[in-house]
Amino acid sequence: MSPRRHVDDLFSAAYEDDLSPIDEARFHAHLQSCAPCAAAFAEFSASVEALRELPRAPMPRPVHLPSTPPVAERTARGRISLGWLNAGLLRRFPATAAAAAIAAVLVIIAVTHGTSSPTAGVATFPSLSSPASKNAPQPQAATASCTQQIVRVPVTSLPADFSAQALTTSPSQPGLRLVLATSNLEVTAGKSVDVYAQLVAPISSYEAPGAATGAGSSAAFRPCVSIEVGGSSLALVPKSSGGQAPGSGVAENPGLEEASPAPASAMLSFDIPAGLASGTELHLIATVPAGSAGYGSPALTATLTLTIR
């Protein structure tokens, strides 16, 4: 047996000065009597030093972030209140917590069945109002504010008169294109607004994750789309989006569903509540969580800012 084998498993710890007193004594005693081990340790240490001398490389291009804020305020509040419920109320006041939970469930049921809201399509906590949220597993990076399932839709051309457009692409997967568009950035309170939202992915990356992307057909998906009313916690959900009913899940794409028999397309319509003051900004947001367009696909967000006339 080579003497070197006696201590080479200690090289890293010795280099880090992380040996126990017993090992340290054994290590140094061995090196004094074993020239190959001493040379090997010198080589080991020099290699680590050479690696540590490599300079830090600066990021060569700017990191692009979505234009929307990192997280909607309501989401943070929701999480804070749930945490308080779990850690505090539930532990100290179980009966009250149970009552609160039951009340919350009743509210959710009422909202999801659309019977309690005087303004259809408007929800202050849309993450609780989505039928999808209770039965669809979410991808790892799904946002809490994404309230609709990402459904596959037929590839739809952008309407010619939808001149207000936002396009988001991914540096890591250039074939992915998230397009959000509408006909006019100025909208009227009390009327509806039509929106086009579509994620297009190369069919190869969707059906064969990891395969090289080549020329060919594309798959289209409708992203999660909502409108956040500036200066308030109001968020509007589409009144006609189609394809909301749970369908057969796609195994490699949790949270992704094929379109149901109900018509689903890239076209959506929102009711703009009456009473919104002129000049109020509405943030139209389309999001797709990571993994929606195949394994490893990035999260994408596209936004447009609408203004009440």
Partner 1 sequence: MDDEALLERARRGDREAFAAIVTRHQDELYTMALRILGTPADAADVVQETFLRAYVRVPVLRGQTIRAWLFRVAVNCCHDIQRRSVRRPADPLEDERGNIVDLPDPALGPEATALSRERLMAVRQALLSIQPEFRAVVVLRDVNDLSYEEMSAALRIPIGTVKSRLNRGRTMLAKALRGTAAAPGVAEGNA
Q: Which stretch binds partner 1 (CB under 8 A): 24-32, 48-56, 218-226, 269-277?
A: 48-56
Pick from 21, 33, 70, 160 the residue near partner 1 by CB under 8 A: 70
Beta bridge partners of 286: 225, 302
User: Does residue 76 touch partner 1 according to CB under 8 A?
Assistant: yes
User: Does residue 261 touch partner 1 according to CB under 8 A?
Assistant: no
CA dihedral in degrees (17, 22, 27, 32; nearest 10)?
120
Q: Which two tokens stand for residue 202?
A: 């190369």
Which among 205, 193, 190, 169 has a CA at the least distance from the CA of 274? 190
Distance, in Å, from the CA atom of 259 to the CA atom of 30, rounded to the nearest integer, reads: 69
User: Does residue 118 touch partner 1 according to CB under 8 A?
Assistant: no
User: Does residue 24 touch partner 1 according to CB under 8 A?
Assistant: no
Pick from 20, 28, 29, 64 the residue near partner 1 by CB under 8 A: 64
Residue 143, amino acid: T
Question: To the nearest whole angstrom, how small is the minimum distance from the Cβ of residue 48 to partner 1?
Answer: 6
User: Does residue 73 touch partner 1 according to CB under 8 A?
Assistant: yes
Which among 174, 194, 175, 157 has a CA at the least distance from the CA of 272? 194
User: Does residue 95 touch partner 1 according to CB under 8 A?
Assistant: no
User: Does residue 141 touch partner 1 according to CB under 8 A?
Assistant: yes
> Interface mask (CB under 8 A) for partner 1, residues 162-181, using x and -?
--------xxx---------
Cα–Cα distances in angstroms (integers) from residue 25 to residues 20, 28, 29, 30, in the given order: 9, 5, 6, 8
Question: To the nearest whole angstrom, how small is the minimum distance from the Cβ of residue 100 to partner 1?
Answer: 21
Question: To the nearest whole angstrom, how small is the minimum distance from the Cβ of residue 140 to partner 1?
Answer: 8
User: Does residue 54 touch partner 1 according to CB under 8 A?
Assistant: yes
CA dihedral sign of residues 293, 267, 137, 252: negative
Nearer to partner 1, 146 or 268 (CB): 146
Nearer to partner 1, 55 or 279 (CB): 55
∠ CA 298-249-76, nearest 5°, is 50
Residues 285-304 binding partner 1 (CB under 8 A) are 287, 289-290, 296, 298-300
Q: What is the 3-state secondary structure (H, E, C) of 127-185?
A: HHHCHHHHCCCCCCCCCCCCCCCEEEECCCCCCCCCCEEEEEECCCCCCCEEEEEECCC
Nearer to partner 1, 125 or 162 (CB): 125
Distance, in Å, from the CA atom of 205 to the CA atom of 294, rounded to the nearest integer, reads: 6
Pick from 21, 118, 210, 261 the residue near partner 1 by CB under 8 A: 210
Q: Which stretch binds partner 1 (CB under 8 A): 36-44, 88-96, 114-122, 127-135?
A: 36-44
Question: To the nearest whole angstrom, how small is the minimum distance from the Cβ of residue 80 to partner 1?
Answer: 9
Q: Provide the 10 A C-beta neighbour count for residue 1.
A: 5
User: Does residue 143 touch partner 1 according to CB under 8 A?
Assistant: yes
Q: What is the 3-state secondary structure (H, E, C) of 22-65?
A: HHHHHHHHHHHHCHHHHHHHHHHHHHHHHHHCCCCCCCCCCCCC
Which residues of this chain interact with partner 1, rule CB under 8 A? Answer: 8-13, 15, 40, 42-44, 46-48, 50-61, 63-66, 68-73, 75-76, 79, 140-144, 170-172, 210-212, 287, 289-290, 296, 298-300
